[in-house]
Amino acid sequence: MRTDRTFTMLKPDSVEKGNIGAIVDKINAAGFRIVAMKLTQMTTQDAQEFYAVHSERPFYGELVSYMTRGPVVAAILEKENAVADFRTLIGATNPADAAEGTIRKLYAASMGENAVHGSDSDENAAIEGAFHFSGREMF
Ligand code: UDP
Ligand code: MG
C-alpha cells in the first residue's frame, strides 16, 4: 500500500463561492503534487456509496444532498505522508475547532458545509481515488 497519495474533493460550497483557486494555491504551497484533478458532479447514488460508512448517522441525508447539489473538484495529491499531512492542512471537521491557517478555518462555513474532503487512511485514499479516476486520468 503506497503512503504518498491522498484523495480530496473541494466540495460544492467551495466551487459556489469561487474558492477553488485559493484552495489549490494552499495545496501547492504545502508541497503536494497534483496527480489527477477534475470538476465532476456526484449522483445521489455516488454520494451514498462514497459516504456509506456514515449511513447510520443522523447527518447522512443532509450530507448526501450537500455533496450532490453541484460540482466538486476531485483530485489525487502526492507527497510523502500524504494522508496525515493533508488532514493537517485542512483542519478539524468542524471549522470552529480548526487551527488557524487551515483550509477549513479559512473557507468552511460550518461542520456540515466544510469546504473540503480528505481521505482518512492510505487504504481509503486508494479506494476513493479509484472511485473518481481511471488510470488514464492519473499523472
Ligand atoms: N458531517 C456533518 N456532521 C457531523 C459530522 C460530519 O455534517 O456531525 C459531514 C461533514 O461534511 C464531514 C463529512 O460529514 O466532512 C464526513 O464526516 P467525517 O467524520 O468523515 O469528517 P471528515 O473526515 O470529513 O473530517
Ligand atoms: Mg472522513
CATH number for position 128: 3.30.70.141
Query: What residues pack around ion ligand 2 (CB closer than 5 A)?
Result: 120
> Could you tell which of 86, 89, 110, 114 is best to mutate to test the pocket of ligand 1, judged by most ligand atoms within 8 Å of the CB?
114
**Ligand 1 cavity residues, CB under 6 Å:** 54, 59, 63, 93, 111-112, 114, 117, 120
Q: Cell 494555491 sits at which residue?
A: 25
Number of domains in the chain: 1
The rounded distance, in Å, linking the Cα atoms of 18 and 25 is 13
The residue type of 52 is A
pTM attached to this predicted model: 0.98
pLDDT tens per residue, the chain (139 residues)? 999 999 999 999 999 999 999 999 999 999 999 999 999 999 999 999 999 999 999 999 999 999 999 999 999 999 999 999 999 999 999 999 999 999 999 999 999 999 999 999 999 999 999 999 999 999 9
Cα 74 from Cα 65, distance rounded (Å): 17
